[in-house]
């Protein structure tokens, strides 16, 4: 498939020939570090550079010898799914001394290394930057000591540094997510989901401690993802008297027939006087004030362990490739940079700007400027905190605004994990805004049959962790039943619609928009939130449910590959869902380390299949034991999964044997991933706030009715690159291939060459999106943003 115009075929312009790149992991380990190491090694070798492992972090750099070893392509096989870091990590006191850095410089020069990829936290990256600044002086010193030749100072004149942040705490400013954070959230949510079942049985309160000595991200997001009753984080300590408020809330929840309470405490939680708040203190408080049966669970290093999530593998792989590109483009005057994530874009930011901002957060906390600490932490953190407060703490009826508007919420299309989190969020935000919220069962089929009822705050308790669609969902479109739906809109006085679903939801809004000419009842604000495992909705880079499906694919592929360990060489052909959209096959292939992924968007013929078989056969003969090939279910009507299986079986005879597996509906089932819970929660809250704004704008005082007939009153809320954007559905028609139910342009197609490169194919790679060095955006506090008690 032709690549978009840009800096194409980068390896002709950005050769790594003659360069030596070293990769090390430092500080605490994080799941996904191995994926980053693998990407750096393979991308470095791909562009012709020599690549070295530095084992045991900075300690290995100081000690030298066997700790610095040349890396090979085969040496990083089968490490994508392994947690921790296989090249080891160690904290090194000696590197903090001038003598230690002098030894490290000598060891690097001996191998001709002047390019360093450092994967670690802010301490590791700060150390790398100091090393870079001292580099020329260290070399001069080594010449004076007679340890290296004088010409080495000129030959290795500059040390280039690129950082990737590996930290489960997500405590580094400048990036939305650090490597390891999503996997740590998976561990936490697995434990919380398990604890909730036993807590429900015994009517218990559980106090959970999660990691985060200086950052409350894990505590905050896991609280958002599981609907915790209370959360305590260091950036925003609770107001004085919080103990009484917390006990009142726990008591009110029990009175409302809730059988359990969950309190999440970050290990660095403090009160307004910076005094630590411990889990034991919270437990004793609950027992003393309420007499509830209360238990403490400290998750500890469980959060660091286990297999990396699909998100972390993809993030780390993209960052690793971007890091090598940054090293190839760097000059002696380029400041050390860190590769970061903003929205779904890789960006490069000056390392020390990010470090300074991270230190500002701690300084603000030390000086009790807590609102500023939250702002400096970043927009993502601040939005999480605002959303949690909005959904977890219900205002008394007397404090709620009275809008007299009725808003209906429904699911349309196939079920997707995270839909229930989105519905819960919409219902609770709507009630907070003073609306009467109506739930429609079974999509538009239930709508025209009148399956509509009011839904209250407590009715959606515990919905975030539920898979599928608790409201019920159908693929029925509204056009055929427009008259009956209009009648129900009239009967229930529905003033706005929130539709959560996939491509059918998009088609439904287009049909309702068209029907406005005939039925005035449809002249109300309408908004759609994309939710489908296929990720094929135009106007949004991501859909609720796609991350859960990716994790199901990745986990299954890991198990399938492991089933062949110790046996003869074997290739697995895996069929994924997605209709005509190849997102799951492509991104799942990148996360699982696939050798090929066949999709509709990139046409292929028998020659391509033959070339893939030959490429895999060659690799099987020399190195790898297992191969993985993914095929999107509708990638080609003739080259079916059976056909590809038979072709590989026949052509691979004598070298490998073949197995096939159709993953089917297991991709749609299961509990939603932390990402889908939070994405669904936040996007739905934003959609509901848009509805409230539109209702006020379109309300006619004269007849006391809502009338919204403009294009911008019927929108899709989607993620576009770095932001959530409302787009009129009619404007998305030109961007849509209605026959194949996919957007005409899809951002993830740019990841396909990356997957091929990591599988050892020669290909072109569009780097038009690869970063020019940007600057950190400062999210400054506003005077009007008053803090709310947690």
Catalytic site positions: 169
177 with 217: CB under 8 angstroms? no
As given in the structure block, the two tokens for residue 162 are 């690129």
Rounded Cα distance between 658 and 352, Å, is 50
Give me 719's structure tokens. Answer: 């993620």
Report the C-alpha gap between 766 and 14 in whole angstroms.
12
- Quote the CA–CA distance of 305 and 247 in Å, as a whole number: 34
3-state SS of 552-611? HHHHHHHHHHHCCCCCCCEEEEEEECCCCCCHHHHHHHHHHCCCEEECCCCCCCHHHHHH
- Rounded CA-CA distance 248/758 in Å is 55
CA pair distance 530, 235, nearest whole angstrom = 32
User: How far are the Cα atoms of 174, 300, 365, 386 from residue 371, in angstroms, in the given order?
Assistant: 18, 28, 9, 12
Q: What span, in angstroms and rounded, lies between the C-alpha atoms of 607 and 326?
A: 35
CA distance 327 to 10: 13
Dihedral sign, Cα of residue 756, residue 759, residue 762, residue 767: positive
Stated as kind and residue range, the H or E segment containing 451 is none
User: What's the rounded Cα separation, in Å, for the pair 707 and 66?
Assistant: 74
CA angle 780, 782, 783 (to 5 degrees): 140
The HSE-up count of residue 422 (CA atoms within 13 Å, CB side) is 35
> Buried b / exposed e across 274-286, counting CB within 10 Å, b at 16+?
eeebbbebbbebb
Q: Whole-angstrom Cα distance, residue 587 to residue 577?
A: 12
- Contact partners, residue 85, CB within 8 Å, separation at least 6: 25, 29, 30, 33, 34, 37, 119, 166
Q: How far apart are CA 103 and CA 134, in angstroms?
A: 13
Using CA atoms, how far apart are residues 388 and 735, in angstroms rounded to an integer? Answer: 34
Strand partners, 308: none
Closest alpha carbon to 58 in 107, 14, 10:
107
CA pair distance 369, 556, nearest whole angstrom: 47
> Which residue, chain included where needed, has tokens 């297991």?
666
Residue 595 near residue 540 (C-beta atoms within 8 A): no
Whether 714 contacts 526, CB under 8 Å: yes
Strand bridging mode 473-474 / 406-412: parallel
Alpha-carbon span 454 to 435, nearest angstrom: 11
DSSP label of 276 = B
Residue whose entry in the numeric block shows the structure tokens 């190849």: 582
Q: CA-CA distance, 79 to 727, in Å (whole number)?
A: 41
Distance, in Å, from the CA atom of 473 to the CA atom of 496, rounded to the nearest integer, reads 19
Residue with tokens 């299954």: 556
| Helix or strand (DSSP H, E) at 230 | strand 230-232
Strand partners, 345: 342
- For residues 751 and 697, give the distance between their C-alpha atoms in angstroms, rounded to a whole number: 42
Q: What is the largest CA-CA distance in the chain?
A: 92
- Provide the 3-class DSSP secondary structure of residue 103: helix
Residue 244: both structure tokens together: 């009484």
């Amino acid at each position: 498939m032709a690549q978009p115009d840009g800096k194409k075929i980068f390896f002709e312009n950005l050769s790594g020939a003659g360069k030596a790149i070293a990769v090390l992991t430092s500080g605490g380990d994080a799941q996904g570090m191995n994926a980053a190491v693998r990407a750096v090694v393979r991308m470095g070798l791909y562009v012709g550079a020599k690549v070295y492992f530095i084992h045991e972090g900075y300690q290995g750099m100081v000690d030298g010898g066997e700790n610095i070893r040349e890396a090979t392509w085969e040496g990083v096989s089968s490490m994508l799914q392994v947690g921790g870091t296989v090249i080891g990590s160690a904290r090194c006191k000696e590197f903090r001394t001038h003598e230690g850095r002098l030894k490290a410089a000598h060891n690097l020069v001996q191998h001709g290394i002047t390019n360093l990829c450092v994967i670690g936290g802010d301490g590791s990256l700060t150390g790398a930057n100091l090393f870079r600044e001292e580099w020329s002086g260290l070399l001069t010193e080594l010449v004076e000591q007679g340890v290296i030749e004088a010409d080495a100072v000129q030959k290795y004149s500059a040390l280039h540094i690129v950082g990737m942040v590996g930290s489960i705490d997500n405590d580094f400013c400048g990036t939305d997510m650090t490597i390891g954070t999503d996997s740590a959230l998976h561990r936490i949510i697995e434990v919380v989901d398990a604890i909730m079942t036993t807590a429900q049985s015994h009517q218990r309160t559980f106090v959970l401690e999660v990691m985060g000595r200086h950052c409350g991200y894990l505590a905050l997001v896991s609280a958002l993802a599981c609907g915790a009753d209370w959360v305590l984080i260091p950036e925003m300590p609770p107001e004085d008297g919080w103990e009484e408020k917390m006990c009142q809330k726990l008591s009110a929840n029990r009175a409302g027939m809730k059988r359990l309470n969950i309190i999440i405490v970050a290990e660095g939680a403090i009160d307004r006087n910076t005094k630590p708040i411990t889990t034991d203190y919270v437990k004793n408080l609950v027992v003393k004030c309420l007499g509830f049966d209360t238990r403490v669970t400290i998750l500890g290093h469980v959060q660091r362990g286990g297999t990396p999530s699909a998100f972390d593998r993809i993030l780390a792989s993209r960052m690793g490739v971007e890091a090598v590109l940054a090293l190839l483009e760097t000059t002696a005057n380029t400041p050390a940079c860190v590769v970061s994530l903003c929205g779904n874009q890789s960006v490069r930011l000056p390392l020390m700007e990010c470090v300074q901002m991270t230190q500002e957060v701690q300084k603000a906390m030390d000086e009790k400027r807590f609102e500023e600490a939250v702002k400096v932490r970043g927009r993502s953190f601040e939005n999480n905190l605002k959303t949690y407060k909005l959904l977890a703490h219900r205002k008394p009826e007397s404090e709620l605004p009275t809008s007299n508007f009725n808003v209906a919420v429904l699911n349309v299309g196939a079920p997707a994990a995270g839909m229930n989190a989105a519905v819960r969020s919409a219902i609770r935000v709507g009630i907070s805004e003073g609306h009467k919220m109506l739930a429609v069962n079974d999509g538009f089929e239930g709508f025209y049959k009148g399956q509509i009822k009011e839904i209250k705050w407590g009715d959606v308790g515990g919905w975030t962790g539920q898979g599928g669609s608790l409201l019920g969902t159908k693929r029925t479109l509204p056009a055929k039943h427009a008259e009956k739906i209009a009648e129900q809109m009239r009967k229930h006085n529905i003033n706005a619609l929130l539709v959560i679903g996939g491509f059918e939801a998009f088609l439904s809004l287009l049909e309702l928009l068209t029907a406005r000419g005939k039925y005035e009842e449809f002249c109300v604000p309408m908004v759609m939130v994309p939710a489908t495992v296929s990720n094929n909705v135009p106007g949004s880079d991501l859909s609720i449910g796609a991350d859960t499906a990716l994790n199901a694919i990745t986990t299954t592929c890991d198990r399938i590959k492991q089933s062949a360990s110790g046996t003869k060489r074997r290739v697995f052909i895996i069929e994924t869902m997605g209709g005509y959209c190849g997102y799951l096959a492509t991104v799942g292939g990148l996360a699982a380390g696939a050798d090929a992924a066949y999709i509709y968007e990139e046409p292929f013929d028998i020659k391509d299949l033959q070339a893939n078989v030959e490429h895999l056969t060659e690799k099987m003969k020399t190195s790898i034991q297992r191969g993985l090939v993914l095929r999107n279910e509708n990638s080609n009507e003739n080259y079916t999964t059976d056909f590809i299986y038979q072709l590989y079986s026949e052509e691979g005879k004598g070298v490998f044997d073949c197995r096939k597996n159709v993953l089917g509906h297991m991709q749609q089932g299961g509990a939603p991933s932390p990402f889908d819970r939070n994405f669904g929660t936040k996007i739905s809250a934003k959609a509901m706030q848009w509805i409230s704004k539109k209702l006020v704008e379109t309300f006619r005082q004269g007849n006391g009715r809502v009338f919204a007939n403009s294009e911008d009153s019927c929108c899709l809320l989607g993620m576009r690159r770095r932001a959530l954007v409302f787009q009129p559905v009619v404007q998305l028609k030109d961007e849509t291939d209605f026959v194949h139910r996919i957007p005409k342009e899809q951002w993830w197609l740019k990841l396909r060459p990356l997957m091929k490169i990591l599988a050892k194919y020669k290909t072109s790679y569009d780097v038009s999106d690869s970063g020019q060095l940007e600057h950190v955006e400062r999210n400054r506090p506003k005077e009007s943003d008053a803090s709310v008690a947690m």
